[in-house]
Amino acid sequence: MIRLQDVTKVYEGGTVAARDVSLDIQRGEFVFLVGASGSGKSTLIRLMLRQEPVTRGNLWVAGKDITKLPDWKVPYLRRSIGTVFQDFKLLPNKTVLENVAFALEVLGRPRGVIKTQVEQVLDLVGLGDKHARFPRQLSGGEQQRVSIARAFVNRPPILLADEPTGNLDPATSVGIMKLLDRINRTGTTIVMATHDHAIVDAMQRRVVALDRGKVVRDQATGRYEAVFMAGAGDRPADAEAPEEAVAPAEAVVRLETGEEE
C-alpha cells in the first residue's frame, strides 16, 4: 500500500529531514510514526502526500511511484488519500454538512450520492445531529470529528493523520482514537504521526520511531518508548514488514481520564 525505499529529504539550507528511510506498510495496517520534534515524522507524511518532493529514493503510494508522478496527476493521487491535521483545517463559513460535502463536490459526485455518503459518515463520527452547525459552534473534539468525516467520506484506502490529537485534551483524544480505530477496522490503512505516549502505548499497533530523520525502531506491536523483551514484536529497522496487516484482537484505549466503552 505504501513503500519507501531509501528515501531522503533535504531542505534548502541543507537540513536533512529524512535519511535513507525504507518502510513497507501493508493494506489495513495502523502505523504510528513517533519521535521528538524535528525527528522527521511530519516530513514523511508530507512526502506521502506529495506536498514535498523526495530528494533521493523512491516512494510508492497506492501502487504508484509518486517520485515519478507528473504534477498534474497529484490531485488524482490525493483522491485515494484522506488527510487529518492537528489544526482541523475546516472552512469557517460552511456548516458541518457543507464542510464534509465539499470533499465530494470537488470530485464532481452527483448530489444524491453526496447526500447519502455525508449522512452516513456524519452518523459514523457521531455528529448527525450537528450537521447544521458552523465550526465555531463546535468543541475542539467535534471539529476534529468533522475533519475525520471529511477525510473518510470518499472511502479512501489510505488515511494520513499528522498529530490529530495534538490540540485536544486526553479524554477527547480517546474518542478520536476510538473513531480512527473503527475506520481502520473497515480496511483503511492509517499512518499517524504523534508524540502522544499514552495513546501509542494503549493502542499497541505498529510503531516506527524516528530520530533525526532515520528509522531507529520498527515494532509490529510497540510502545512509544522501546521495550526490549523476547517475543515483544521487535524487529530491526531494516527488516521487512509482515505480510499480513497487524490486527490485534481488540484495541484497548485507556487513559487516566477515560476508557474504552
Distance CA 4, CA 7 (A): 6
| pLDDT single digits (tens) 146-184 | 999 999 999 999 999 999 998 899 889 999 999 999 999
Q: What is the pTM of this model?
A: 0.84
* 205 touches 189 (CB < 8 A): no
pLDDT at residue 239, rounded to an integer: 45
Q: Please compute the mean of the pLDDT values over residues 195-222 and round it to a whole number.
A: 94
Q: Comparing C-alpha atoms, which of 189, 131, 196 is closest to residue 157? A: 189
The b/e string for 231-253 (b: 16+ C-beta within 10 A; e otherwise) is eebbeebeeebeeebbeeeebeb
> Pick the residue with more confidence: 86 or 253?
86
Relative orientation angle of helices 170-184 and 140-152, to the nearest 10 degrees? 10
Q: Please compute the mean of the pLDDT values over residues 187-211 and round it to a whole number.
A: 94
> Three-class SS of residue 201?
helix
| pLDDT single digits (tens) 107-145 | 899 999 999 999 999 999 999 999 999 999 999 999 999
Query: pLDDT-based confidence at 100, cuts 50/70/90?
Result: very high
pLDDT value at 259 more than 60: no
| pLDDT single digits (tens) 19-69 | 999 999 999 999 999 999 899 999 999 999 999 999 999 999 998 999 999
Query: pLDDT-based confidence at 225, cuts 50/70/90?
Result: confident
pLDDT value at 236 more than 80: no
> Pick the residue with more confidence: 95 or 246?
95
pLDDT at residue 226, rounded to an integer: 73
